[in-house]
Every structure is written in structure tokens, then in C-alpha cells.
Amino acid sequence: MPIPYVLVMSRKAKNPKFIDWRNSHARDHLLQDLQPGGFLHNNTIDPEAAFEHDRFLEDFRGVCWEQFKARLRDHRKQQENLPKKKKFIGWRKSAAREILLQDLTPPHGILVGLDEMSAESLWNFYKTEEGFAKVPFEQFKLRLKDHRKQTNEHFILSAREYEFLQHDRAITPRTEFDEDGDPIWHMHDAAKLLRDDVEKNLHDGKTPSQMQSTRTEYKAFQDNVFKNQFYAAIKRTKFINYLEMKRNLKRKGIKMRERDVPNPILEKGKESEKDDGMQN
């Protein structure tokens, strides 16, 4: 069984009990806790209390008290000595965090499939983007690493769940009709049509029965079934609009990226290569 790298002993460590701190999850976790809004920000918590809080977390597995205390002292000094212009921003509620997470989210995120690109290469693009003006490169690099890991873990989990679902459906195939011979709503074309119609506000001013009369697909269902689905579709659209409103608030008014257009990161890379070629 491979040994997690967080437990690998550093060759340069003076104490044989110390882990390889520079490449550990514990270091990333501690640095994040020291940022504005973090658990250890403003030096209000003493090292012993901090260690008792963190020692049982997975990221700190194998970290002894002596190393934790020394590294916490070092990182606190580093934060104090950072120039004001390089101080980390409050990341959790920042527009930069929301934008970066969306850019990493499949299938439309512009960072999907670009895991091989370094933080340095991507910074050439993001440092001029709205929402990143006050973000220092060191924070961008750290958060990019964290969010890439989160997104990849979520993608792997989703793929496994889909595989399990396909296995279950192979054993018990889905049917388009229930035991009474009536069509099942979410298996019928009417489900998608109604969602689209409500999103386009074609339901405004109509009762469920009036809406049902607008399409042949809707008439395949009993009145009470369609009525329930009609109000559910309206409720769903309102909820999606609410989430979109919250997302816009998090983005501080910065517009969403357009879909079905050339990837701006790759396009900027091509422009840089072209400029370099002209200079040569």
C-alpha cells in the first residue's frame, strides 16, 4: 500500500519525527487558516489550542507538536512581513473564488482539461481579469491548487456514482409507463418541454389547464398530474433564478463568461506566441 506523501520524512528535517512540511497538506491547511477570515487569523489563538484543534484532522496526520509549533511561528512571521500590497484577501467571500471555481467546473469551465498548465502560466491571464486585481500571485497559486484538487475529487466521485447508476439500470431498466399504464412524467418529452416553456415565461397568465392545452405532449397526462408538474416547474425556475442572483452577488457584478466561444486562456497564449515570433 503506497504511503501518503504527507507522512514521508524530510531528508532536511532536523527532527526525525518531522514530516516533509513543504509538500504536505498540513502546510496548505495552516496557510489557509492564517488568511483573513481563517481560524488562526490575527494571532488570537495560542499554538497549543490551535494544535488541539487541528491534530485530529486528516491533513495533520503524522504532524507532531514540536513541528506544528515551529511551523506556525514561522508562517505567522511570514504573514506579518508581507508587504501590504501582497497581503492575502478574504478568499471565501471573494469574487475571485467564485470565478475560479466556475472556471474549473465541467463541462463549460475554461480551465477544464488544462491541469498541466502551471499557476504561473495561468496568472498571466487572470491577473488582468475582473475580480483578481487585489489577489496576490501567492494566494492565487495556493487556491488554484486547492480548488483543482476539490474539483478532481468531485469529478471522480460523480463518475463512480454514474457508473453505479448505469449498473443498476442494466439490472432494472427504466420504463416509460407505470403499473397502471400511464406515462411517467420524467421519462416523457413533456417534462423538458414544460421546463423550457416556463423558462421562456410562456406560462405567464395561464392556468394549468390552459397551459396543458398548448401542446399535444401535455395532453398525455391526467389533469391533476400536469397541474402538479406545472407548479413544480415554476417553483424550480424561481429557485434557479434565486441561485443565479446569489452567484451574481458573489461575483460582485462581474458577468459570467460566454459559452461556445474560443477559450480566452488559449487565445491569449496564441497571441503571446505570435508576439514572441514577431520580436524574434
For residue range 21-30, what is the model confidence (pLDDT) as tens digits?
888 888 988 8
Q: How confident is the model at residue 11 (pLDDT cuts 50, 70, 90)?
A: very low
Which residue type does 206 have? K
Cell numbers of 248, please? 451574481
pTM exceeds 0.85 for this model: no
- 242 vs 215, which has greater pLDDT? 215
Question: Has residue 86 got a pLDDT over 80?
Answer: no
The confidence score (pLDDT) of residue 85 equals: 47
Is a pLDDT exceeding 60 seen at residue 227?
yes
| Element of type H or E holding 170 | helix 137-171
Lowest mean pLDDT, pick from 5-19, 30-44, 85-99, 172-186 = 5-19
Q: In a 3-state reduction of DSSP, which class is residue 177?
A: strand
Spatial contact of 147 and 153, defined as CB atoms under 8 Å apart: no
61 has a pLDDT exceeding 70 = yes
Cα(216)–Cα(42) distance, integer angstroms: 64
Q: What b/e readout covers 102-131, taking b as 16+ CB neighbours within 10 angstroms?
A: bbbeeeebbbeebeeeebeebbebbeebeb
